[in-house]
Amino acid sequence: MSIPTSSNTLKAGLGIVGFGTVGQGVWKHLAATKKNMENRLGVKIELIGVCVRNPDRQREVRIPRTAIHTDPCKLVDDPRVNIVCELMGGTTLAREVTLRALRLGKVVVSANKALVCEHGAEIFKTVSKCGGQYFFEASVAGGIPIIKSLREGLVANRFSEIAGIINGTCNYLLTRMEKEGLSYETVLKDARRLGYVEADESLDLDGVDAYHKAVILAFLAHGKWVPRKNTLVEGIRAVTLEDIQRALDFGYRIKHVAVIRRDFAKGHMTLGVYPALIPLDKVLARVDGVYNGISLTGDVVGTTTLVGRGAGQDATASAVIGDIVDAIRTLKGAAFKFLTRTDLDFYTALGQTMRMATPDEIQSQFYLRFSLRDESGVSAEVYRILAEEKISVARVIQYEHAGTRRGTHTLSTYPVSEASMERALRKLRKLRTVLETPLVLRILSPEN
């Protein structure tokens, strides 16, 4: 599909499916800059319609009643619509709408991370077959142009590590816990009140949202759609205020991160999403609140870190509008063409050069927190188990709890395999003198 001309004016017709916070933000900001955009692109931008579940709901942004639809297929099929913005979320109807538009050769712009993660392979194939285009910058890290960076600006690189804070809600919760000394439950209540937490809270709190985003980054960097069974996905529910303070005592800040590593020599990669300790002097350790930050280490560029607002109406609208502009350029035949057959062949070949690493092959530095009964020899038992698994301890701090006959032990290790740590933990859990399930967190040290 290309842009139709009428009375010598090129027209880009927009259909927005899903007119919630993001959809309204997109139209609000686009309407404000429309004249400039139109002059710059030489195209008239028209909002043909929006599609919503409840047309009678009061909205921040007013749209003529005749432009409000309830059937997404009708809007997608409208021949005046050549750019479909899928901002509805979910993976069932959103998938149908997306594939329908692409099969009609239209350009689709999306903010839907779960959809790209779960159905990206099918969507991308449809693009290459039907000749439309699919843009999804807003699906990862809100206003940070990470997808464009991977696809375009950093295309010269092979990435040994991509590590980032890509869930703003977890970052907000951990930041407030640390800065204000508040409990997880107290801060979570505030986050709910401010509308930061997804309707399905587990997406944020159990790391699923970050996993969706990490899978998208891993595909763009390494050509592999990483299945959930090959990843470690942990949220932040087990992190206590005490852990945050203990980590600071060690010189680290706890952040919820996604880490994608690739070992070129051994031909394997890993993808994990978990709370990690980051040295205080690293950029990511200073990315606070709802902000996101992503550190990419490429073989040509070195380490580059991008920081910005990862969620919210305005940051997301900024990414979607960037994609709409790319969509218009695509329709004019003036854009870099992404997801062509050669592009997909490239990703497939890249993905085939490597497998997922096994727990024996994944090396991490760990932080451990456990409570021990106050008896002589209890620490020696713990160290015996660590020694059996060849785990070398880097630092130890022990805190006594006056009058309780128990103490909290925290320690960090040198790099050791995930498999060794798992075996050590199984043994530690069986010790009569270990009073609660030990907490294990990984340590992440990006280059900058």
Binding site for ligand HSE (CB under 6 A): 142, 167-169, 198, 204, 209, 310-311
Least distance from C-beta 111 to ligand HSE, angstroms?
8
Least distance from C-beta 142 to ligand HSE, angstroms?
6
| Alpha-carbon span 283 to 295, nearest angstrom | 9
| 3-state SS, residue 178 | helix
Closest CA to 282 of 295, 267, 269: 295
Closest CA to 161 of 446, 365, 442, 416: 446
| Alpha-carbon span 85 to 112, nearest angstrom | 10
Strands 393-401 and 406-413: antiparallel
**Does residue 337 carry a catalytic annotation?**
no
Selecting among 213, 224, 255, 282, the annotated active-site residue is 213
How far separated are the first and last CA of the chain, in Å rounded? Answer: 44
Closest CA to 134 of 151, 155, 149, 159: 151
Query: Which of residues 78 and 198 has its CB atom nearest to ligand HSE in the complex?
Result: 198
Q: Where are the beta strands (DSSP E) in 337-415?
A: 355-356, 363-373, 393-401, 406-413
Query: Which of residues 235 and 298 has its CB atom nearest to ligand HSE in the complex?
Result: 235
Contact 108, 132 (CB under 8 A): yes
Query: Which of residues 167 and 420 has its CB atom nearest to ligand HSE in the complex?
Result: 167
| Alpha-carbon span 26 to 12, nearest angstrom | 15
| 3-state SS, residue 258 | strand
Least distance from C-beta 209 to ligand HSE, angstroms?
5
| 3-state SS, residue 401 | strand
Query: Which of residues 46 and 198 has its CB atom nearest to ligand HSE in the complex?
Result: 198
Q: To the nearest 10°, the Cα dihedral for 177, 179, 181, 184?
A: -10
Query: Which of residues 308 and 310 has its CB atom nearest to ligand HSE in the complex?
Result: 310
269-299 b/e with 16+ CB inside 10 Å = b? Answer: bbbbbbbbbbeeebbbbebbebbbbbbbbbe
Least distance from C-beta 198 to ligand HSE, angstroms?
5
Least distance from C-beta 104 to ligand HSE, angstroms?
28
Least distance from C-beta 427 to ligand HSE, angstroms?
37
Query: Which of residues 216 and 324 has its CB atom nearest to ligand HSE in the complex?
Result: 216
The first and second tokens of residue 157, run together, are: 């690189």
Alpha carbons within 13 angstroms on the beta-carbon side of residue 14 total 27
For the annotated catalytic residues, the residue numbers are: 213
